[in-house]
Structure 1
Amino acid sequence: MHAIAPPPPISNELVLTESRTMRAQTIGRTDALDKVKALAMLPDSLHVTTEMAAAYYEVDTQAIHSLVRRNRDELEQNGMHTLQGAELRAFKVETGGQGDHLFNGVRTLRLFTRRALLNVGQLLTESQVARRVREHLLNVEQAVRPQAEPRQLPQAKRLPPKTFRQAYFSDVPEGRFFRHLYSHGYLLDQRNQRKDEFGNLTKDGFRHGHPKAGKGDRFFQLPEVMYVDANGRLRGRAVVRPDRIQDLVEQLISEGLRHNPSITRGPSRLALTASESTEVVDGYRITMRRGA
């Protein structure tokens, strides 16, 4: 039995801009918008426009447009949508005709739900209001965290990519393995993007090795406990999601990586079934499934 220490307080609100996992964890707390600043909404009391979002966060509309271009999929998942044609006309009717003067001459109208507007605040770095929203979200998150209780460590938990490679793809050279993760959309590649003390680009970027949005988020996540570096930034490299280890093995096999013989008979057999054995790799207890 091992006692697990409670996680340290989250001290940097930028963790929300960098971690989609943390954004998803706090996106339901839309009351943060009203806690930080009075929010004006359209007559339907459900939406705001791009201009209203910009006014709330005290930035120009171009900042909102740029944010939407970079994060369209995530924002749409959280309720952002665009109306035009019949949908726009119907929306004007739903607002009791009050929308006629608001949207006069408008052919397309982008709307943000409260959830989507909160998502903007999670991502927008050039707004002091957004920073206060993120701080509020993290303060609430810290307050509701359950106290950790002593428990037995699980056999396999959040493998770092290096350990994952050793367990399942040890025949693949480490350099090639990581190049594959970078080039196939799993992890961010920020090698040699920061200058060292001599002005040479030899240091990794602050988000090097973090999961990429979309494909990377499906298989990787940031560690539960991160640390703050000398510049006040949260640091930590991605780990494999514990419930996606098998899925990631199968995905990488389908992409042509040579798997360990003990995993499966060949790339055409992706179901990892039959007998199991347990090995310890770099201090992690790994369950190895052998093909039938």
Structure 2
Amino acid sequence: MLSTAPPPPISNELVLTESRTMRAQTIERTDALDKVKALAMLPDNLHVTTEMAATYFEVDAQAIHSLVRRNRDELEQNGMATLQGAELRAFKTETGGQGDHLFNGVRTLRVFTRRALLNVGQLLTDSEVARQVREYLLNIEQVVRDDTTPRQLTQAKRLPPKTFRQVFFSDVPEGRFFGHLYTHNYLLDQRNQRKDEFGNLTKEGFRHGHPKAGKGDRFFMLPETSYVDANGRLRGRAVVRPDRIQDLVEQLISEGLRHNPSISRAPSRLALTESTVINGYRITMRRGA
């Protein structure tokens, strides 16, 4: 039966700024940086400067300096370094291959590895880019985790389409991905079907994102958190059926969506490079060719 209570609140991405344990759990996911925004690095493809970090996170360099002062030990443990003297001279040569040309006149240089830059994103609160990085990290932490408590798997939440895209089709822009689901009869598209307070059709219909009959029902369902509002309307967004995740991945690839590198084609089924726990459900896919 559907609950009449409103859905629980979504977890706050700021948990990463508050918990060093959570930051340590996700610090290896440096791929989050490239998933959120293109990252420019120094010629060694290993480091960025303070100014480059500020550019990536779209903040003033002073915000990075302030963050370093408050979290120096943690950032240094994750690869941040302040170079000077012989160490800096060697770095200038190795980085640009042109002696002092790249950092002419610089006597002290702070650099960040990708891991240290991700650490900045975990901590930086006044940046929309950093917020998106944290959201990506939490989504991945939720859907790809060690299977340490098998008995708790049945209590897991369902996989929403947004997280499904990040795990399997993150190279496909979110707008294109959802557009594909709408035009290929997976989900109802009720964008711009209700008027706002100014009389403009900018609000979503009450059934926006529900599974479409037939093809949509085969791969998607409404979760247990769906509820009936005061006007008797069923509210909620579709989630992927836990027993059809592999089938949906294969179906979308066959329809032309570009899959993540961790997924490869095999003669019969798709395969992941390893068994994966997705929202508490272990999805075991045979290793591909």
**TM bucket by the smaller chain?**
0.3 to 0.5
Normalised to the residue count of structure 1, the TM-score between the two structures is 0.47
